[in-house]
Amino acid sequence: MQTMKEQIDSAIKILKEGGVILYPTDTIWGLGCDATNEAAVEKIFKIKQRSDSKSLITLVADLDMVGRYVKEIPEIALQLVEVNDKPMTIIYPGAMGLAKNVVAEDGTAGIRIPEHEFCHQLIYKFRKAIVSTSANISGTPAPTTFEEIPQEIKDAVDFIVPKEFEGNCTRSASQIIKVGLGSEIEIIRG
């Protein structure tokens, strides 16, 4: 079996080529691609059979990386990240630098910093945000384990991270909190 470093290097090669990967996150298995590559994001919408009118969550390595994709990080977001103890996606205003089909119509972007060894190392070494969306056909239940991922999804991606790197994931979707520059908070999914 390949080491984690070898798997990460292989996944990064695919991401740089505009491909789609199936990979473990801090929550559930996700479909991922370079969040700055519009054509790669389009492939994910095709695989999921989903319209691209819905925005996608992206994963970043740390708050510094968040700062590359939003005009300003609201103070309340910094406080939420500091006290958070479970996977939390924050919807930030003023998205920038991401593929336009990742960003919501109102100019916001959902971004999460995963606490997951493989996922974190992958993003850190790729040095860019990665899309993270559940590995299912739109409208069907999100698979919580590798075994539940439909074969149709596995056949459609360019690279599958081996199950051995699943690590400690919660097997449920992250909470989603929308923040505003005036410290407004709206809980989208608790």
The span from the CA of 16 to the CA of 55, in Å, is 21
Q: Which tokens go with 127?
A: 């040095």
Q: Is 110 in a helix, a strand, or coil?
A: strand
What pLDDT, in 10s, does the model give residues 29-71? Answer: 999 999 999 999 999 999 999 877 678 999 999 999 999 999 9
The mean pLDDT of 69-81, rounded to a whole number, is 94
Give pLDDT, residue 35: 98
Instruction: Tell whether the model's pLDDT for residue 88 goes beyond 90.
Output: yes
First to last CA, the chain: 38
Residue 165 vs residues 7, 53, 125, 133, 155: alpha-carbon distances, Å = 9, 32, 16, 18, 19
Give pLDDT, residue 169: 87
The span from the CA of 163 to the CA of 160, in Å, is 9
What pLDDT band is residue 72 in, cutting at 50, 70 and 90?
Answer: very high
The span from the CA of 57 to the CA of 93, in Å, is 14
What pLDDT, in 10s, does the model give residues 119-178? Answer: 999 999 999 999 999 999 999 999 888 999 999 999 999 999 999 998 888 988 899 999
The mean pLDDT of 80-105, rounded to a whole number, is 94
Instruction: Tell whether the model's pLDDT for residue 116 goes beyond 90.
Output: yes
Give pLDDT, residue 144: 85
Domains of the chain with bracketed CATH:
4-189 (3.90.870.10)
Q: Which residues lie below 8 Å from residue 163, measured CB to CB, with a gap of 6+?
A: 146
Among residues 51, 22, 56, the alpha carbon closest in space to that of 37 is found at: 56
Give pLDDT, residue 2: 84
DSSP state of 165: G
